[in-house]
A = this chain, B = another copy of it.
Amino acid sequence: MPHYTPPVRDTRFVLEHVVGLDRYADQTGFDTATPDVVEAVLEEGGRFVAEVLFPLNLSGDQQGCTRHPDGSVTTPDGFKEAYRQFVESGWATLGNHPDYGGQGMPHVVSTAFQEYMISANMAFAMYPGLTHGAIAALTAKGSPEQKATYLPKLVSGEWGGTMNLTEPQCGTDLGLIRTRAEPQADGSYAITGTKIFISSGEHDLTENIIHLVLAKTPGAPDSSKGISLFVVPKVLVEADGSLGARNAVSCGSIEHKMGIHANSTCVMNYDGATGWLVGEEMKGLAAMFIMMNAARLGVGLQGLGVAETAYQNGVAYARDRRQGRALTGAKEPAEKADPLFVHPDIRRMLMEAKALTEGLRALCLWGALQVDLEHRGDAEAADLIGLLTPVIKGFGTDMGYKIATDMQQVYGGHGYIAEWGMEQYVRDARIAMIYEGTNGVQAMDLVGRKLAQNGGRAIQRFMTLVTRKLAEVSPDDGVKAYGEQLKAALGDLQASTMWFLANGMTNPDHVGAGAVPYMHLTGLVAVGLMWLEMANAAARLKAGGDADPFLDAKLVTARFYGERLLPLTGALRRQIEGGADAVMALPPEMFAAA
């Protein structure tokens, strides 16, 4: 059976030395996040997820959700009680606005807790995760009445929320939506259509579920410009806030899927369900992107969260399991074999997992800080997080899957067997590369929108930031050597950006064909920046007399990142510079068997 220990020590190091939480101590929200409070969130939150949510992870996967003939859905054994504790302990309210009963913690603090919750039980974490998307959309675009009706109950966790975008014929291309919204005399709309892949669409955790639904009003243009957003509660809410009649929305079936079995992924049927317009008619896409951007950062965090648990269990197995002898001679000759840990290739996989999980943790928390700063009006932060949101989502989840796969590999044959729990991490991590926009869509958002906006201001700001940090590199020899490696990687990013600039105008396919390599290149540099910050801090603390071996580990891991992961940027640059010609040359009929 797997285990999970919240990595509180590492989170604390990042909050202190990469995020620099104390620098913002006088700002609203941050002022309540005193060191004591943050420590309590990490320790108590970590304990809650490890003790209450993690024990339900494997059993939840094996049991899955059940749809009953009346359309109701029950979550796996233990989920309802765990959710009750989650709400009663107040974990649902952590980062939400105090106006609606939230604790108003900075996003960076609630993100730290979110990571732990995902690590403990990704499928469980998706229920409150989707609620957060609904809260974000209603907060930004809801009418005062809608806010008063829905937000307090969503913030407390008494009600759940969902996002209803996808339809059978319509995934990424939201212009293809067929769900219709007919205006009614009372100002409401009758919503009719079928939505698929609706995470947390129906379940028994909350007494009501507030669906946010994209649909088209009569006469709306047949493109994404014709989409409107509606709020459609499962149970209608009376004027006094009490629950009224059941709305005409129901779960038609639960999808059979590769993983996240404990989250109910539903086909939702809207049969003239009563809904209300959120924001302006035909401005649904903008409202949807409010949910989407928050959701994408959350999905990037899923890559990290699942990878962390897989990594911890890879380490534990490598220490326990004995097979073969060290290449340099038996390390434990009294035993019949050495632990797997002595084998360089096992260590290579563990070090990659360590370098990437710790680096992604720093990037996710630093990114969450940029969200906080953006909300407080910081234009540079807004540019940086706008640029890096698709990178955190796309690169973060690609790496999460790679780490989960590698950690499964450490287990050998046992990794393939369900009881050991490792194959679940691979199956769960896999969805994060697909939903909220596939990673290819993230890459196109990066190179097609984010690079071009405001004359390339965001990427310039990012590259300037890395350059500035490189100039502040620690005098420590090891960190200086790492700085040179990061500088070379930044050079590859600069060259690739220039290549897009020079070639994208003549043929936009040149940019499209390099999109995913560019997303990975940017991700490697962004995580590389985090390792520079961590190595700088570790070298400074050591020079100041701190003998904590945790700091030595940071320096070794930065070196590993520079030697083993940054070299990939050169290959990615060459792939990008290959352009689109060979990629696009063949007609469809020349693919596959003929």
- Chain A interface (Cβ within 8 Å of chain B)? 5-10, 166, 170-173, 175-176, 196-197, 222, 255-259, 311-312, 315-316, 318-319, 322-324, 327-328, 336-337, 339, 341, 343-351, 354, 401, 405, 408-409, 412-413, 415-419, 423, 426-427, 430-431, 433-435, 438-440, 443-444, 448, 507-509, 511-513, 515-516, 549-550, 552-553, 556-557, 559-560, 563-564, 567-568, 570-571, 574-575, 578, 580-586, 588, 590-594
Evaluate contact between B171 and A323: CB separation under 8 angstroms. yes
How many angstroms from the CA of A585 to the CA of B557 in the assembled complex? 9
Residues on B with C-beta less than 8 A from A6 are: 593
* Complex contact B257–A348 (CB within 8 A): no
A312-B344 in contact (CB<8A)? no
Task: Considering the complex, give the chain B residue whose CB is closest to the CB of A323.
Answer: B173
Decide: B346 and A591 in contact? CB cutoff 8 A: no
Residues of B within 8 A of A409 (CB): 433-434, 438-440
The answer to whether A563 touches B592, judged by C-beta atoms less than 8 angstroms apart, is no
12 new A-B contacts, CB < 8 A, other than A560-B582, A567-B578, are A5-B593, A6-B593, A7-B594, A170-B323, A258-B417, A259-B416, A344-B515, A344-B584, A345-B440, A348-B583, A409-B434, A563-B575
Inter-chain contact B354/A591, CB cutoff 8 Å:
yes
Whole-angstrom CA separation of A172 from B346 in the bound complex: 13
A328 to chain B, nearest CB (A): 6
Instruction: State whether A258 touches B348 (Cβ < 8 A).
Output: no
Cα A418 to Cα B254 in complex, Å, equals 12
B513 close to A315 (CB less than 8 A): no
Contacts A324-B173, A327-B512, A553-B590 known; A435 to B418 CB distance under 8 Å? no
- 28 of the cross-chain contacts (CB-CB < 8 Å) are A5-B592, A7-B593, A171-B412, A172-B324, A176-B323, A176-B336, A176-B337, A197-B413, A256-B418, A257-B418, A258-B416, A258-B418, A319-B588, A327-B448, A327-B509, A343-B512, A344-B509, A344-B513, A345-B440, A348-B513, A354-B592, A409-B439, A415-B434, A550-B590, A559-B581, A560-B582, A570-B571, A570-B574
Q: Is the CB of A10 within 8 A of B593?
A: yes
**A345 touching B513, Cβ below 8 Å:** yes
Please state if B564 and A575 are interface contacts (CB–CB under 8 Å).
yes
Within the complex, what minimum Cβ distance (angstroms) separates A441 from chain B? 9
Contact A515 B413 (CB under 8 A): no
Give bound CA distance, A339 to B173, whole Å.
11
A588–B336 contact, CB under 8 A? Answer: no
Given A563-B578, A567-B574, A553 and B323 contact (CB-CB distance below 8 Å): no
Pairwise interchain contact B222-A336, C-beta atoms closer than 8 A: yes
Residues of B within 8 A of A348 (CB): 513, 516, 583
Bound: A336/B166 CA distance, A: 16
Q: Does A345 lie within 8 Å of B443, measured CB to CB?
A: yes
Q: Say whether, besides A7-B593, A336-B222, A430 and B426 are in contact (CB < 8 Å).
A: yes
Q: Is the pair A556, B574 in contact by a Cβ cutoff of 8 Å?
A: no
Chain B residues with Cβ below 8 Å from A585 are 556
In contact, B556 and A351 (Cβ under 8 angstroms) = no
Bound: A560/B390 CA distance, A: 26
Give which listed residue, B328, B349, B413, B556, contacts A509 with CB less than 8 A: B328
Contact B327 A508 (CB under 8 A): yes
Protomer copies = 2
Q: Taking A256-B419, A327-B508 as contacts, is the C-beta distance between A346 and B440 under 8 angstroms?
A: yes
Complex: A556 Cα to B549 Cα, angstroms: 53
Does the CB pair A550–B513 fall under 8 Å?
Answer: no
CA distance A227 to B567 in the complex (A): 44
User: Nearest CB to that of A338 among chain B residues?
Assistant: B173
Q: In the bound complex, how far is the Cα of B433 from the Cα of A405, in angstroms?
A: 10
Chain B's nearest CB lies how many Å from the CB of A78? Answer: 20
Do B584 and A347 touch across chains, with their CB atoms under 8 A apart?
yes
Give the shortest distance, in Å, between A329 (CB) and chain B (any CB).
9
Which residue of the partner chain, among B328, B564, B570, contacts A578 with CB atoms under 8 Å?
A: B564
Distance, CA A7 to CA B173, complexed state (A): 33
Bound together, the chains give a CA A552 to CA B513 distance in angstroms of 21
If the complex has contacts A440-B343, A513-B345, A584-B347, are A256 and B592 also in contact, measured as CB distance less than 8 A? no
CB pair A258–B427 under 8 Å, yes or no, is yes
Other-chain residue from B346, B350, B564 in contact with A582 (beta carbon distance below 8 A): B564
Q: How far is the CA of A540 from the CA of B581 in the complex (A)?
A: 23
B583 touches A347 (CB 8 A): yes
CB distance from A402 to the nearest CB of B (A): 10
A351 touches B582 (CB 8 A): yes
The complex places the Cα of A292 from the Cα of B268 at a distance, in Å, of: 51
For residue A5, which residue of chain B has the nearest CB?
B593
Contact call B567/A568, Cβ cutoff below 8 A:
no
Nearest-neighbour CB distance to chain B for A423, whole angstroms, equals: 4
- Chain B residues with Cβ below 8 Å from A435 are 413, 416
Shortest C-beta distance, A64 to chain B (Å), equals 12
CB distance from A370 to the nearest CB of B (A): 26
Distance between Cα atoms of A570 and B572 in the complex (Å)? 11
Q: Contacts of A557 on B, CB cut-off 8 Å?
A: 582, 586
B419 touches A594 (CB 8 A): no
A590 to B512, CA, bound (A): 41
Using Cβ atoms and an 8 Å threshold, which residues of chain B touch A408?
430
Asked if residues A511 and B7 are in contact (CB atoms below 8 Å), the reply is: no
What's the minimum C-beta distance from A588 to chain B, rounded to whole angstroms?
Answer: 5
Q: Which residues of B contact A344 (CB under 8 A)?
A: 509, 512-513, 515, 580, 583-584
A549 vs B585: C-alpha distance in the bound complex, in angstroms? 12
Contact between chains at A511 and B439 (CB < 8 Å) = no
Chain B: CB-nearest residue to A314: B592
